[in-house]
Amino acid sequence: MALKHSYSVLAPLYDAAVRGPLDQVRRKSLARLKDIQDKDILINGIGTGLDLEYLPDGPRYTGTDITPLMLRRAEKRADQSAIDIKLICADSQNLPFEKESFDVIIMHLILAVVPAPERALQEADRVLKKNGNIYILDKFLKPGQLAPVRRSLNTVLRHIATRTDVVFEDVLANCKHLHLVHDEPALAGGWFRLIELAKRS
Give pLDDT, residue 59. 96
Cα separation, 170 vs 46, whole angstroms: 24
Cα separation, 163 vs 201, whole angstroms: 31
Give pLDDT, residue 18. 72
Query: In which order are the strands placed within the sheet that holds 128-139?
Result: 84-89, 60-65, 40-44, 102-108, 128-139, 192-199, 178-187
What residue spans define the domains of the chain? 3-199
* Residue 8 clears pLDDT 90, i.e. is over it: no
Give pLDDT, residue 90. 97
Give pLDDT, residue 6. 61
Give the amino acid at 109. L
Q: For 3-199, CATH number? A: 3.40.50.150
Query: What backbone torsions phi and psi does residue 102 show, to the nearest 5 degrees?
Result: -125, 145
Give pLDDT, residue 1. 44
